[in-house]
Every structure is written in structure tokens, then in C-alpha cells.
Amino acid sequence: MTHFRYEILRTLRNRVFYAITLALPLVLYYSVASGQRNGTFDGTAFPLYFMTAMAVYGAMYAAVAPGARIARDRSRGWLRQLQITPLRARTDFAAKAASAYVLALPTLVLLYLAGASLGVRLDADQWLELTGLLLAGLVPFVVMGFILGYLVPVDALAAALGGVVVLFALLGGVFGFQLATSGPLFDVLKCLPSYWLVQAGKTTLGGGGWPAQAWIVVAVWTVALIPAAALAYRRATSRV
Amino acid sequence: MTAVRDTNPGIVLSGLAKSYGPVRAVRGLDLAIAPGETVALLGPNGAGKTTTIDMMLGLTRPDEGTVSIFGVPPAAAVQDGWVGAMLQTGSPLEHLKVREIVRMMASYYPHPLAVEEVLRITGASDFAGRWTTKLSGGQAQRVRFAAALVGDPDLLLLDEPTAGIDVEGRRDFWQAMRAVTERGKTVVFATHYLEEADAYADRIVLIARGEIVADGPATEIKAQAGARSIRATLPGVDVQALSALPGVRSAQRHGDAVLLSCSDADAALVSLLTVFPGARDIEVTGGSLEEAFLELTAADADASRQRTEAAR
């Protein structure tokens, strides 16, 4: 429990990072969505669409954030120090994943408030459903953060994490346009967890929730990435 | 752990070997350490001390041989919280205060010591509220010591714990260490400071080029090397002639002063006075650990050179 507490404390004390995950999507949201209050996009009201998109954007940064901490700990030799304590690796993973969600949740709530201020109206259970879908869809990104944290040198890590988030955000339709709405490219985009994260607002409003494909995409990414994370961890902790 | 200690097999390294590519860092190391012993692994840089400690911690897998910590493999001993270590790397975490980091380490162990007590013993109380990134080198070293100690491990492994610390800091560290070893812990530390090994270890294991070249109490190692030296004032003498004297291994001249490093100081003294009756201010000094160290590690170098040549 102490380990959980301090992992979360370390996350929150990284104020600059915290401020960016909160402020960046909020600023983008108001600057883009306030001009399109009555617009529609992708078959849904623009404020709802873009609220979800920006919540996803900020939450993705929060999700990969443990990667940054892992890489710094690794470069400081702390990973080796942890290896020679009775702390189990999976307890450490769980604490770091929890800290990612602690960072992600305020971003979601803040964007919900911003959305509501621009006329987004959902029932209480719809807000909860949306939150549930977003938290579930973030799992692959938490694992990606771990992989990069254990593999990428610390001085290249910010670029790697930022690149992954921006790339997935772009392909998932976070920035207010989609690269394709039909054809083979669209089929590829629909295999990305970020696509379904952005779709969560629309599907929640439609009342249908995520289609099976969304759950399969998120599950497959997670299941495929976890062994990669395990390998990355083993590589980082074993000396040749 | 108390129940285990009655029949405690201590620490046993047998046939330990590790290579990094063509570099044979550790070559066939056998060592048994009894519970409660304080052992110094003494050797020059690159002797294989860190590799040996990493293998004792299970951080590095040996190519050959085994490590047993109190009867179990290193990973199991670590898992049970029997081992605490100060690695050469491992600077304190950011976004945490000193007290927090020690408290966090304590939470990993089944029976930790009281955090405030550990901060006091290690001399970290004064800056316990400071951010870990705002510490001097000596303070960071105390924090790492506190972190290694707080789990109340039975075995403390310290890899050059005082590297980069000033003389006063080193003395404080070892004073704190004494307080800890009095509690019956087994301590193994790597160092290249001879005076540290001499002053604080019950037993010195001298390592050079991945092998043990001497093992015993400091006094025994000095005797084993048998190094004694003779100093004298002897103006205008030929160093070559001094070196050729019986019992003299090597000779140096600094102005009018000569220094003879001897394999047999008695014979050397007799021949010196016979051949150079003008020698004055003669002084015979007992072997220092430093001389023993140099002699034993050099002897090893000669031996490996001979091996290499024989192999050709």
C-alpha cells in the first residue's frame, strides 16, 4: 500500500507534467469547439465529439506517463535497487498503472465539465458508461508506456511517448478529422484502440455502447502488448 | 530467520565464473562466509568485485558455479528480505523526500526497522525532510545506506559504499556501520581503499583479475606477502647495484634516500651494510597492507603472463 501511495504521490508532484495533461486538451477544446457549438461531425454533435476526443488525448498522455518515470528510475539505477528488494514486479506494475489512472481521471472530469459548458448533455449513467469505456480503452496505452519506459533511452523517451500519443491520436481521429471514412484505410483505422476511444462519446449517446469489434480491438492490443512489456522488463532488468 | 541462523550455512560461492564477451570478469571464485563475518572484497578496479556482488544479489547470472545465501539461491534470499544492498548505481528518486524514500523501502520488507531509528543511525535525520534530488554526495550516500539497512537484512552487500566520499564522510559511515555489525549482521563490502579493508573487515579477500589471490585477516595477508622495506640515506649510489643485493626485490632512489623493497629484509640489511658501509639513517619497516596488496596482485599478473606465454 505504501508503494501505491508513493507512486501516486510522485506522479502528482510532477506538477509540470500534470498541468500539461490537464491544460493542453482543455485549451484545445475551447479554442476549437467554442466556434462550432452547433456543428456536427461524424454524425454527432461537435462539442460531444470533440469533448471525447480531447479527453482521450489528455488521458493518453496520462496513460503513458508511468513510462517516463520508469525510464528515469532505470537511468538512475533505481530499477536495479528495486530488484534486490522483496517488492514483486507485479505489485510495482499495478501501482504504476494505478498512478496512470489517477492522472487520467481528472483530465476526463475536466473535459466533461468543459463539454457541459458548451451544451453537452448526457444522463448520469451515460457519463459513467463513457468513463468506463475510456478507462478500458486506455489499457493498451498504459502497457505501451511500460514498454517504451523499459526499452527507450531516457533522453529519447519524451519524444517516443509524445510520438506514440500523437500518432495514435491522429489516426484515431482525435484532431477533428479522420484520414478515411471508408475503404481499406478505414478498416485499418478501425483496428486501433484510439479510434474506438474517440468513438466512445458517439456510441454512448446512441445508447448501444461499444460494438463487439471495439472490445476485441482493445483486448487484442492489450493481450499482444503484455508479453512485449514482459520482454522489455526482462531486458531492462537483466545484465548480460 | 533466528531459527535458520542456528544451522546457518552462511554464504557460499562455489566455482563462480562470469565472462563479458572476451573479458573474463570472474574466473572460478570459491568463497565461504560465516554468518556475522565482516568481509572486504579488496581489489583494484576491474578485478571482478562488482560482478561478484551482482552475482551474490542475483542481478547477474553466473556462467558457471553457484551462489547460496543462507542456504538458498540469491533470488529467494532477496524475496524473503534477508538481503540489503548499496549498489554503485542507484541515486535517490525524484519527487520524494528522504524520509519518504526510506519509508517506502521499509514497506517492501516483512520486518523492517523503525524508520526514524534508521535515519538516526545513518545520520540522515538532519535532512530527512529534504528532497532527494537536493542532497550532497555524502548525504545521498547516507540515504542509500538507510535504504539498504531499513529492511533489517541479515546480509548487507555494499559495493564501494564510500566511493566519492570525503575522508570525514567515510569515517562517519564506518562508525555507523560498526553500530550495525554489532547487531550480528553479515557484511560483505567491495572496496579499493586498503585502509578501509584493514580497519573495518574481520577478513580480507583480495581479488585480482577475477580470482582470489589472498584470503584472511589483514595481519595474515601482510605476513603472507612478507613485504618489508628498508630506507636509508646513501648518496650517489647506483640503483642497479642496490637491486642486485641479496634479499632485495627492487630499489628506488629519491635524491640521497634509497628505498629497498625486500623479499628477505634480514639478508638485505646485512648485505647493504657490507657492500655500502656508508649507509645512514637506516630504517626497516614492516610490511604495510598496501605493499602486500601490490605484491599479491602483481604476483598474479606475472602468473597470468606466464600462463598466456605458455599457451602460445
pLDDT above 80: residue A208 = no
Nearest C-alpha neighbor of B114 from the set B106, B123, B122:
B106
CATH number of B2-222: 3.40.50.300
Nearest C-alpha neighbor of B30 from the set B182, B207, B177:
B207
How many domains in chain A? 1
pLDDT score for B4:
47
For the record, the C-alpha cell of B129 comes out as 525532510
Residue of A nearest to B111 (CA): A86
Nearest C-alpha neighbor of A188 from the set A173, A170, A171:
A171
Q: Do B109 and A78 touch (CB under 8 A)?
A: no
What CA–CA distance (Å, rounded) separates A47 from A36? 7
Residue of B nearest to A13 (CA): B95
pLDDT score for B299:
57
For residue B308, the surrounding DSSP H or E stretch is helix B289-311
Q: Between A9, A85, A238, which is nearest B105 by CB?
A: A85
Cβ(B41)–Cβ(B52) under 8 Å? yes
Q: Do A3 and B100 touch (CB under 8 A)?
A: no
pLDDT score for B287:
63
Per DSSP, B154 falls in state S
What distance in Å separates residue B182's CA from the closest CA in chain A?
23
Nearest C-alpha neighbor of B171 from the set B148, B138, B204, B149:
B138
pLDDT per residue rounded down to tens, chain B (312 residues)? 444 445 678 999 999 999 988 889 999 999 999 999 999 999 888 889 999 999 999 988 999 999 999 999 999 999 999 999 998 876 667 788 999 999 999 999 999 999 999 999 888 899 999 988 888 888 888 899 999 999 999 999 999 988 878 888 888 888 888 888 777 899 999 988 888 888 889 899 999 889 998 898 887 777 666 567 888 998 888 888 888 888 888 888 888 888 888 877 888 888 888 888 888 888 887 666 666 777 677 655 555 444 444 444
Mutate to test the interface with A, among B93, B96, B100 (most CBs of A within 10 A): B93
Q: Between B83, B91, B96, which is nearest A84 by CB?
A: B83
Q: Residues 8..67 of A with a Cβ closer than 8 Å to B: which?
A: 9-10, 13-14
What distance in Å separates residue A57's CA from the closest CA in chain B?
25
Alpha helices in chain A (DSSP H): 2-13, 15-33, 46-75, 78-83, 89-117, 124-137, 139-151, 154-172, 183-189, 193-206, 212-237
- Chain B interface, Cβ < 8 Å to A: 20, 54, 57-61, 78-81, 83, 85, 87-96, 100, 103-110, 147, 151
Q: Do B90 and A81 touch (CB under 8 A)?
A: yes
Q: Do B90 and A78 touch (CB under 8 A)?
A: yes
What distance in Å separates residue B26's CA from the closest CA in chain A?
14
Which residues in B231-265 are b (16+ Cβ under 10 Å) and which e?
A: bbebeebeeeebeebebbeebeeeeeebbbbbbeb
Q: Between A81, A86, A239, which is nearest B60 by CB?
A: A239
Beta strand pairing call for B38-42 and B248-254: unpaired
pLDDT score for B261:
81
Strand partners for B39: B188, B203
What CA–CA distance (Å, rounded) separates B161 from B189? 7
Q: Between A2, A84, A240, which is nearest B57 by CB?
A: A84
pLDDT score for B305:
47
Report the predicted TM-score, pTM, of the whole model to 2 decimal places.
0.80
Q: Do B2-222 and B228-286 fold alike per CATH?
A: no
> Half-sphere exposure of A115 toward its Cβ, with a 13 Å CA cutoff?
24
Tens of pLDDT, residues A15-35: 888 888 889 999 999 999 888
pLDDT score for B312:
46
Contacting residues of A for B152, CB less than 8 Å apart: none
pLDDT score for A239:
60
Q: Do A85 and B104 touch (CB under 8 A)?
A: no
Q: What ranges do the domains of chain B cover?
A: 2-222, 228-286
What distance in Å separates residue A33's CA from the closest CA in chain B?
36
Residue of B nearest to A84 (CA): B78
- Which residue range forms the structural domain that includes residue A208? 2-237
Q: Between B61, B104, B147, which is nearest A6 by CB?
A: B104
Residue B30, Cα to own-chain centre: how many angstroms?
Answer: 16
Residue of A nearest to B88 (CA): A77
Say if A182 is an interface residue toward chain B (CB within 8 Å).
no
Tens of pLDDT, residues A213-232: 999 999 999 999 999 999 99
Write the class of the CATH domain B228-286.
Answer: alpha beta
| Amino acid identity at B33 | I
Cβ(A25)–Cβ(A176) under 8 Å? no
For the record, the C-alpha cell of B2 comes out as 533466528
pLDDT above 70: residue A64 = yes
What distance in Å separates residue B143's CA from the closest CA in chain A?
13
What distance in Å separates residue B56's CA from the closest CA in chain A?
10
What CA–CA distance (Å, rounded) separates A154 from A84? 22
What is the SS3 assignment for B123?
A: coil
Per DSSP, B86 falls in state E
pLDDT score for B5:
47
